[in-house]
Structure 1
Protein backbone atom coordinates (compact mmCIF):
# COMPACT_ATOMS: atom_id res chain seq x y z
CA UNK A 1 0.00 0.00 0.00
CA UNK A 2 2.83 2.33 0.82
CA UNK A 3 4.31 1.49 -2.47
CA UNK A 4 1.03 2.56 -4.12
CA UNK A 5 1.11 5.88 -2.33
CA UNK A 6 4.66 6.43 -3.34
CA UNK A 7 3.68 5.86 -6.91
CA UNK A 8 1.07 8.70 -6.84
CA UNK A 9 1.97 11.87 -8.74
CA UNK A 10 2.32 14.03 -5.67
CA UNK A 11 3.75 16.94 -7.48
CA UNK A 12 0.77 17.06 -9.81
CA UNK A 13 -1.65 16.72 -6.95
CA UNK A 14 0.08 19.47 -5.02
CA UNK A 15 -0.05 21.69 -8.05
CA UNK A 16 -3.73 20.99 -8.48
CA UNK A 17 -4.36 21.66 -4.79
CA UNK A 18 -2.41 24.89 -4.99
CA UNK A 19 -4.41 25.95 -8.02
CA UNK A 20 -7.69 25.13 -6.26
CA UNK A 21 -6.62 27.06 -3.18
CA UNK A 22 -5.60 29.99 -5.34
CA UNK A 23 -8.88 29.88 -7.21
CA UNK A 24 -10.76 29.74 -3.93
CA UNK A 25 -8.83 32.70 -2.62
CA UNK A 26 -9.43 34.64 -5.83
CA UNK A 27 -13.13 33.79 -5.70
CA UNK A 28 -13.44 34.79 -2.07
CA UNK A 29 -11.58 38.01 -2.64
CA UNK A 30 -13.65 38.78 -5.72
CA UNK A 31 -16.82 38.12 -3.76
CA UNK A 32 -15.67 40.39 -0.97
CA UNK A 33 -14.72 43.11 -3.41
CA UNK A 34 -17.99 42.72 -5.33
CA UNK A 35 -20.03 42.86 -2.15
CA UNK A 36 -18.13 45.89 -0.92
CA UNK A 37 -18.54 47.62 -4.28
CA UNK A 38 -22.23 46.79 -4.44
CA UNK A 39 -22.71 47.99 -0.88
CA UNK A 40 -20.87 51.23 -1.63
CA UNK A 41 -22.84 51.82 -4.80
CA UNK A 42 -26.09 51.03 -3.00
CA UNK A 43 -25.31 53.49 -0.23
CA UNK A 44 -24.36 56.12 -2.81
CA UNK A 45 -27.61 55.54 -4.72
CA UNK A 46 -29.63 55.74 -1.48
CA UNK A 47 -27.83 58.93 -0.48
CA UNK A 48 -28.55 60.38 -3.93
CA UNK A 49 -32.24 59.47 -3.65
CA UNK A 50 -32.43 60.97 -0.18
CA UNK A 51 -30.72 64.15 -1.41
CA UNK A 52 -33.14 64.36 -4.36
CA UNK A 53 -36.09 63.85 -2.04
CA UNK A 54 -34.86 66.53 0.36
CA UNK A 55 -34.22 68.93 -2.51
CA UNK A 56 -37.66 68.33 -4.04
CA UNK A 57 -39.28 68.70 -0.63
CA UNK A 58 -37.47 72.01 -0.10
CA UNK A 59 -38.48 73.22 -3.55
CA UNK A 60 -42.09 72.26 -2.90
CA UNK A 61 -41.98 74.00 0.47
CA UNK A 62 -40.63 77.14 -1.22
CA UNK A 63 -43.37 77.00 -3.85
CA UNK A 64 -46.01 76.53 -1.17
CA UNK A 65 -44.57 79.44 0.79
CA UNK A 66 -44.53 81.67 -2.30
CA UNK A 67 -48.14 80.71 -3.08
CA UNK A 68 -49.17 81.47 0.51
CA UNK A 69 -47.41 84.84 0.42
CA UNK A 70 -49.12 85.68 -2.89
CA UNK A 71 -52.48 84.64 -1.44
CA UNK A 72 -51.91 86.78 1.65
CA UNK A 73 -50.92 89.72 -0.52
CA UNK A 74 -54.06 89.40 -2.63
CA UNK A 75 -56.14 89.18 0.54
CA UNK A 76 -54.47 92.27 1.98
CA UNK A 77 -55.02 94.10 -1.30
CA UNK A 78 -58.70 93.25 -1.24
CA UNK A 79 -59.00 94.32 2.38
CA UNK A 80 -57.19 97.57 1.58
CA UNK A 81 -59.42 98.21 -1.43
CA UNK A 82 -62.53 97.53 0.66
CA UNK A 83 -61.28 99.81 3.43
CA UNK A 84 -60.51 102.56 0.93
CA UNK A 85 -63.96 102.26 -0.62
CA UNK A 86 -65.64 102.24 2.80
CA UNK A 87 -63.64 105.24 3.99
CA UNK A 88 -64.49 107.16 0.80
CA UNK A 89 -68.17 106.29 1.19
CA UNK A 90 -68.33 107.44 4.81
CA UNK A 91 -66.50 110.64 3.91
CA UNK A 92 -68.99 111.29 1.13
CA UNK A 93 -72.05 110.55 3.26
CA UNK A 94 -70.76 112.82 6.02
CA UNK A 95 -70.30 115.61 3.49
CA UNK A 96 -73.81 114.99 2.12
CA UNK A 97 -75.29 115.12 5.62
CA UNK A 98 -73.57 118.44 6.26
CA UNK A 99 -74.80 119.75 2.91
CA UNK A 100 -78.33 118.64 3.77
CA UNK A 101 -78.23 120.53 7.06
CA UNK A 102 -76.84 123.65 5.39
CA UNK A 103 -79.49 123.58 2.68
CA UNK A 104 -82.32 123.17 5.18
CA UNK A 105 -81.09 126.14 7.19
CA UNK A 106 -81.61 128.25 4.07
CA UNK A 107 -85.10 127.01 3.23
CA UNK A 108 -86.88 129.88 4.97
CA UNK A 109 -84.64 132.37 3.18
CA UNK A 110 -85.99 131.29 -0.21
CA UNK A 111 -89.60 130.30 0.58
CA UNK A 112 -91.01 133.17 2.67
CA UNK A 113 -90.70 136.23 0.47
CA UNK A 114 -90.21 137.10 -3.17
CA UNK A 115 -89.12 140.39 -4.81
CA UNK A 116 -90.81 141.84 -7.89
CA UNK A 117 -89.18 143.79 -10.72
CA UNK A 118 -89.52 147.04 -8.76
CA UNK A 119 -87.69 145.61 -5.77
CA UNK A 120 -90.79 145.28 -3.66
CA UNK A 121 -90.99 142.26 -1.35
CA UNK A 122 -94.14 140.18 -1.09
CA UNK A 123 -95.12 137.13 0.95
CA UNK A 124 -94.92 133.95 -1.05
CA UNK A 125 -98.38 132.80 -2.02
CA UNK A 126 -97.90 129.44 -3.67
CA UNK A 127 -100.57 126.78 -3.65
CA UNK A 128 -99.81 123.13 -4.28
CA UNK A 129 -102.99 121.26 -5.06
CA UNK A 130 -103.77 117.86 -3.64
CA UNK A 131 -103.40 116.43 -7.12
CA UNK A 132 -99.94 117.96 -7.46
CA UNK A 133 -98.85 116.41 -4.15
CA UNK A 134 -100.22 113.01 -5.16
CA UNK A 135 -98.44 113.14 -8.50
CA UNK A 136 -95.25 114.34 -6.85
CA UNK A 137 -95.27 111.50 -4.33
CA UNK A 138 -96.16 108.94 -6.99
CA UNK A 139 -93.21 110.08 -9.11
CA UNK A 140 -90.92 109.17 -6.20
CA UNK A 141 -92.71 105.89 -5.55
CA UNK A 142 -94.13 107.25 -2.31
CA UNK A 143 -97.64 105.85 -2.46
CA UNK A 144 -99.77 106.04 0.64
CA UNK A 145 -99.11 103.29 3.16
CA UNK A 146 -95.55 102.51 2.04
CA UNK A 147 -94.01 103.95 5.18
CA UNK A 148 -91.61 105.99 3.07
CA UNK A 149 -91.17 109.68 3.79
CA UNK A 150 -93.23 111.89 1.49
CA UNK A 151 -94.54 115.41 1.48
CA UNK A 152 -97.90 115.41 3.20
CA UNK A 153 -100.85 117.70 3.48
CA UNK A 154 -104.31 116.86 2.24
CA UNK A 155 -104.93 113.22 3.13
CA UNK A 156 -106.71 112.10 -0.02
CA UNK A 157 -106.54 108.75 -1.73
CA UNK A 158 -104.25 109.06 -4.78
CA UNK A 159 -106.19 106.29 -6.54
CA UNK A 160 -109.56 108.02 -6.26
CA UNK A 161 -110.73 109.53 -9.55
CA UNK A 162 -114.53 109.42 -9.77
CA UNK A 163 -116.06 112.76 -8.86
CA UNK A 164 -112.85 114.03 -7.34
CA UNK A 165 -111.77 116.64 -9.86
CA UNK A 166 -112.61 119.38 -7.40
CA UNK A 167 -110.83 117.65 -4.53
CA UNK A 168 -107.70 117.22 -6.66
CA UNK A 169 -107.62 120.96 -7.16
CA UNK A 170 -107.98 121.85 -3.52
CA UNK A 171 -105.15 123.35 -1.53
CA UNK A 172 -103.07 120.48 -0.19
CA UNK A 173 -101.58 122.53 2.63
CA UNK A 174 -98.13 121.68 1.33
CA UNK A 175 -95.85 124.68 1.03
CA UNK A 176 -92.75 125.48 -0.96
CA UNK A 177 -90.84 124.82 2.21
CA UNK A 178 -92.21 121.26 2.40
CA UNK A 179 -91.38 120.51 -1.22
CA UNK A 180 -87.89 121.94 -0.95
CA UNK A 181 -87.18 120.07 2.31
CA UNK A 182 -88.30 116.82 0.74
CA UNK A 183 -86.22 117.48 -2.37
CA UNK A 184 -83.17 118.11 -0.19
CA UNK A 185 -83.64 114.77 1.61
CA UNK A 186 -84.28 112.97 -1.66
CA UNK A 187 -81.21 114.55 -3.21
CA UNK A 188 -79.10 113.39 -0.28
CA UNK A 189 -80.35 109.81 -0.63
CA UNK A 190 -79.77 109.90 -4.37
CA UNK A 191 -76.20 111.09 -3.95
CA UNK A 192 -75.61 108.43 -1.27
CA UNK A 193 -76.67 105.75 -3.75
CA UNK A 194 -74.39 107.26 -6.38
CA UNK A 195 -71.54 107.22 -3.86
CA UNK A 196 -72.23 103.55 -3.08
CA UNK A 197 -72.20 102.62 -6.76
CA UNK A 198 -69.05 104.63 -7.43
CA UNK A 199 -67.40 103.08 -4.39
CA UNK A 200 -68.25 99.59 -5.63
CA UNK A 201 -66.91 100.40 -9.10
CA UNK A 202 -63.72 101.83 -7.60
CA UNK A 203 -63.32 98.69 -5.47
CA UNK A 204 -63.70 96.42 -8.50
CA UNK A 205 -61.32 98.57 -10.54
CA UNK A 206 -58.73 98.50 -7.75
CA UNK A 207 -58.90 94.70 -7.60
CA UNK A 208 -58.51 94.44 -11.36
CA UNK A 209 -55.53 96.81 -11.37
CA UNK A 210 -53.78 94.92 -8.57
CA UNK A 211 -54.51 91.59 -10.24
CA UNK A 212 -52.94 92.80 -13.46
CA UNK A 213 -49.65 93.70 -11.75
Structure 2
Protein backbone atom coordinates (compact mmCIF):
# COMPACT_ATOMS: atom_id res chain seq x y z
CA UNK A 1 0.00 0.00 0.00
CA UNK A 2 1.61 3.30 -0.97
CA UNK A 3 2.51 5.80 1.81
CA UNK A 4 0.71 9.01 1.63
CA UNK A 5 2.72 12.16 1.06
CA UNK A 6 1.88 13.75 4.40
CA UNK A 7 3.02 10.58 6.21
CA UNK A 8 6.60 10.73 4.88
CA UNK A 9 7.67 13.74 6.95
CA UNK A 10 6.16 12.15 10.03
CA UNK A 11 8.10 8.95 9.48
CA UNK A 12 11.26 10.92 8.90
CA UNK A 13 10.73 12.85 12.12
CA UNK A 14 10.08 9.67 14.03
CA UNK A 15 13.23 8.11 12.60
CA UNK A 16 15.26 11.19 13.56
CA UNK A 17 13.76 11.18 17.05
CA UNK A 18 14.58 7.50 17.40
CA UNK A 19 18.14 8.03 16.23
CA UNK A 20 18.55 10.99 18.58
CA UNK A 21 17.13 8.99 21.48
CA UNK A 22 19.45 6.10 20.66
CA UNK A 23 22.44 8.42 20.43
CA UNK A 24 21.47 10.10 23.68
CA UNK A 25 21.05 6.76 25.41
CA UNK A 26 24.37 5.52 24.12
CA UNK A 27 26.06 8.75 25.16
CA UNK A 28 24.48 8.59 28.57
CA UNK A 29 25.47 4.96 29.02
CA UNK A 30 29.00 5.66 27.80
CA UNK A 31 29.31 8.71 30.07
CA UNK A 32 27.97 6.81 33.05
CA UNK A 33 30.36 3.94 32.40
CA UNK A 34 33.27 6.34 32.03
CA UNK A 35 32.26 8.18 35.19
CA UNK A 36 32.12 4.88 37.04
CA UNK A 37 35.56 3.92 35.76
CA UNK A 38 36.98 7.29 36.81
CA UNK A 39 35.29 7.02 40.21
CA UNK A 40 36.53 3.49 40.75
CA UNK A 41 40.05 4.51 39.74
CA UNK A 42 39.97 7.46 42.14
CA UNK A 43 38.60 5.26 44.92
CA UNK A 44 41.28 2.64 44.27
CA UNK A 45 43.93 5.36 44.31
CA UNK A 46 42.60 6.70 47.61
CA UNK A 47 42.55 3.20 49.07
CA UNK A 48 46.11 2.62 47.92
CA UNK A 49 47.21 5.95 49.40
CA UNK A 50 45.44 5.13 52.68
CA UNK A 51 47.00 1.67 52.81
CA UNK A 52 50.42 3.19 52.13
CA UNK A 53 49.99 5.74 54.90
CA UNK A 54 48.72 3.06 57.25
CA UNK A 55 51.68 0.84 56.39
CA UNK A 56 54.11 3.70 57.00
CA UNK A 57 52.44 4.47 60.33
CA UNK A 58 52.66 0.85 61.43
CA UNK A 59 56.31 0.69 60.34
CA UNK A 60 57.11 3.86 62.32
CA UNK A 61 55.36 2.54 65.42
CA UNK A 62 57.10 -0.82 65.04
CA UNK A 63 60.48 0.88 64.64
CA UNK A 64 59.81 3.02 67.73
CA UNK A 65 58.75 -0.06 69.68
CA UNK A 66 61.87 -1.94 68.59
CA UNK A 67 64.03 1.02 69.61
CA UNK A 68 62.38 1.15 73.04
CA UNK A 69 62.78 -2.59 73.46
CA UNK A 70 66.44 -2.38 72.44
CA UNK A 71 67.04 0.53 74.84
CA UNK A 72 65.30 -1.34 77.65
CA UNK A 73 67.38 -4.44 76.99
CA UNK A 74 70.56 -2.34 77.05
CA UNK A 75 69.49 -0.87 80.39
CA UNK A 76 68.79 -4.33 81.78
CA UNK A 77 72.18 -5.57 80.56
CA UNK A 78 73.87 -2.53 82.09
CA UNK A 79 72.12 -3.14 85.41
CA UNK A 80 73.10 -6.82 85.40
CA UNK A 81 76.69 -5.95 84.52
CA UNK A 82 76.84 -3.30 87.26
CA UNK A 83 75.49 -5.81 89.77
CA UNK A 84 77.96 -8.47 88.64
CA UNK A 85 80.86 -6.01 88.88
CA UNK A 86 79.76 -4.95 92.37
CA UNK A 87 79.48 -8.55 93.60
CA UNK A 88 82.89 -9.36 92.11
CA UNK A 89 84.39 -6.32 93.85
CA UNK A 90 82.85 -7.33 97.19
CA UNK A 91 84.19 -10.87 96.85
CA UNK A 92 87.62 -9.53 95.94
CA UNK A 93 87.59 -7.20 98.96
CA UNK A 94 86.65 -10.06 101.30
CA UNK A 95 89.49 -12.16 99.97
CA UNK A 96 91.88 -9.23 100.32
CA UNK A 97 90.69 -8.64 103.90
CA UNK A 98 91.41 -12.25 104.84
CA UNK A 99 94.84 -12.15 103.22
CA UNK A 100 95.77 -8.94 105.04
CA UNK A 101 94.60 -10.23 108.41
CA UNK A 102 96.70 -13.36 108.04
CA UNK A 103 99.77 -11.10 107.94
CA UNK A 104 98.89 -9.04 111.02
CA UNK A 105 100.78 -11.17 113.54
CA UNK A 106 103.84 -11.27 111.31
CA UNK A 107 104.13 -7.48 111.18
CA UNK A 108 103.00 -6.58 114.72
CA UNK A 109 104.65 -9.10 117.08
CA UNK A 110 108.31 -8.22 116.63
CA UNK A 111 110.70 -6.00 114.77
CA UNK A 112 114.24 -6.52 113.43
CA UNK A 113 117.17 -4.17 113.90
CA UNK A 114 120.07 -3.48 111.55
CA UNK A 115 121.89 -6.55 112.92
CA UNK A 116 118.93 -8.70 112.03
CA UNK A 117 118.15 -9.23 115.68
CA UNK A 118 114.48 -9.61 116.59
CA UNK A 119 112.87 -7.67 119.41
CA UNK A 120 109.33 -7.72 120.78
CA UNK A 121 107.13 -4.85 119.75
CA UNK A 122 106.61 -2.36 122.56
CA UNK A 123 103.97 0.06 121.28
CA UNK A 124 101.64 1.92 123.62
CA UNK A 125 98.43 3.64 122.52
CA UNK A 126 97.13 6.10 125.07
CA UNK A 127 93.51 6.50 126.01
CA UNK A 128 93.54 9.94 124.43
CA UNK A 129 94.90 8.48 121.19
CA UNK A 130 92.08 5.94 121.07
CA UNK A 131 89.49 8.64 121.76
CA UNK A 132 90.80 10.68 118.84
CA UNK A 133 91.07 7.59 116.65
CA UNK A 134 87.47 6.54 117.27
CA UNK A 135 86.15 10.09 117.00
CA UNK A 136 87.70 10.28 113.52
CA UNK A 137 85.36 7.43 112.52
CA UNK A 138 82.31 9.26 113.86
CA UNK A 139 81.85 7.37 117.12
CA UNK A 140 80.13 9.20 119.97
CA UNK A 141 82.05 10.45 122.99
CA UNK A 142 80.57 7.66 125.13
CA UNK A 143 81.74 5.07 122.63
CA UNK A 144 85.21 6.57 122.39
CA UNK A 145 85.52 6.64 126.17
CA UNK A 146 84.45 3.03 126.47
CA UNK A 147 86.86 1.96 123.75
CA UNK A 148 89.81 3.77 125.32
CA UNK A 149 89.43 2.71 128.97
CA UNK A 150 92.16 0.39 130.19
CA UNK A 151 90.93 -2.98 131.30
CA UNK A 152 90.32 -2.90 135.05
CA UNK A 153 90.65 0.90 135.32
CA UNK A 154 87.91 3.20 136.57
CA UNK A 155 85.73 4.52 133.78
CA UNK A 156 85.68 8.30 133.63
CA UNK A 157 83.52 10.55 131.51
CA UNK A 158 85.46 11.94 128.57
CA UNK A 159 84.14 15.37 129.29
CA UNK A 160 85.56 15.24 132.83
CA UNK A 161 88.72 13.30 132.02
CA UNK A 162 91.89 15.24 132.72
CA UNK A 163 94.74 15.67 130.28
CA UNK A 164 96.88 13.38 132.41
CA UNK A 165 94.22 10.66 132.34
CA UNK A 166 94.20 10.79 128.55
CA UNK A 167 97.90 9.94 128.60
CA UNK A 168 97.34 6.67 130.44
CA UNK A 169 97.90 3.54 128.34
CA UNK A 170 94.96 1.76 126.78
CA UNK A 171 94.70 -1.97 126.23
CA UNK A 172 94.74 -1.47 122.47
CA UNK A 173 97.63 -3.05 120.59
CA UNK A 174 99.19 -2.59 117.18
CA UNK A 175 97.38 -5.70 116.11
CA UNK A 176 94.00 -4.22 117.10
CA UNK A 177 94.69 -1.00 115.21
CA UNK A 178 95.81 -2.77 112.04
CA UNK A 179 92.88 -5.19 112.13
CA UNK A 180 90.47 -2.29 112.54
CA UNK A 181 92.06 -0.38 109.67
CA UNK A 182 91.79 -3.44 107.43
CA UNK A 183 88.07 -3.77 108.20
CA UNK A 184 87.46 -0.07 107.71
CA UNK A 185 89.39 -0.16 104.46
CA UNK A 186 87.20 -3.00 103.21
CA UNK A 187 84.06 -1.03 104.10
CA UNK A 188 85.34 2.10 102.37
CA UNK A 189 86.27 0.21 99.21
CA UNK A 190 82.90 -1.60 99.27
CA UNK A 191 81.10 1.75 99.43
CA UNK A 192 83.29 3.01 96.60
CA UNK A 193 82.39 -0.04 94.50
CA UNK A 194 78.71 0.49 95.29
CA UNK A 195 78.85 4.15 94.24
CA UNK A 196 80.74 3.29 91.04
CA UNK A 197 78.17 0.61 90.24
CA UNK A 198 75.35 3.09 90.79
CA UNK A 199 77.05 5.63 88.53
CA UNK A 200 77.48 2.98 85.81
CA UNK A 201 73.80 2.08 86.14
CA UNK A 202 72.72 5.73 85.87
CA UNK A 203 74.98 6.17 82.85
CA UNK A 204 73.34 3.14 81.25
CA UNK A 205 69.87 4.62 81.82
CA UNK A 206 70.90 7.79 80.01
CA UNK A 207 71.94 5.96 76.84
Instruction: Indicate the residue corresponding to 1:191 in structure 2.
Output: 189
Instruction: Indicate the residue corresponding to 1:23 in structure 2.
Output: 20
User: Does structure 2 retain, via aligned residues, the 8 Å contact 1:130–1:167?
Assistant: yes
Instruction: Indicate the residue corresponding to 1:3 in structure 2.
Output: none
Instruction: Indicate the residue corresponding to 1:178 in structure 2.
Output: 176
Q: How many residues align?
A: 198
Q: Secondary structure at the match of 2:119?
A: strand
Cα 1:156–1:182 change in 2 (3 A) is farther
For the pair 1:101 / 2:95, whether they are aligned, the reply is no
Unaligned ranges ≥5, structure 2: 150-154
Aligned partners of 1:12, 1:56: CA distance in 2, in Å? 64
Deviation at 1:118, TM superposition (A): 3.5
RMSD: 2.6
For the pair 1:74 / 2:71, whether they are aligned, the reply is yes
TM-score (norm 1): 0.81
Cα 1:78–1:31 change in 2 (3 A) is same
Q: Secondary structure at the match of 1:118?
A: coil
User: Does structure 1 retain, via aligned residues, the 8 Å contact 2:148–2:171?
Assistant: yes
Runs of 4 or more, structure 1, over 6 Å off, are none
Alignment of 1:1-213 (within 5 A): 9-144=6-141, 152-154=147-149, 157-158=157-158, 160=159, 162=160, 164-204=162-202, 211=207
Deviation at 1:156, TM superposition (A): 5.3
User: Does structure 1 retain, via aligned residues, the 8 Å contact 2:131–2:148?
Assistant: no
**Deviation sequence 1:166-194 (CA, Å, 0-9, x none):** 22122221111111111001111111122
Deviation at 1:136, TM superposition (A): 0.8
Q: Secondary structure at the match of 2:147?
A: coil
Unaligned ranges ≥5, structure 1: 1-5
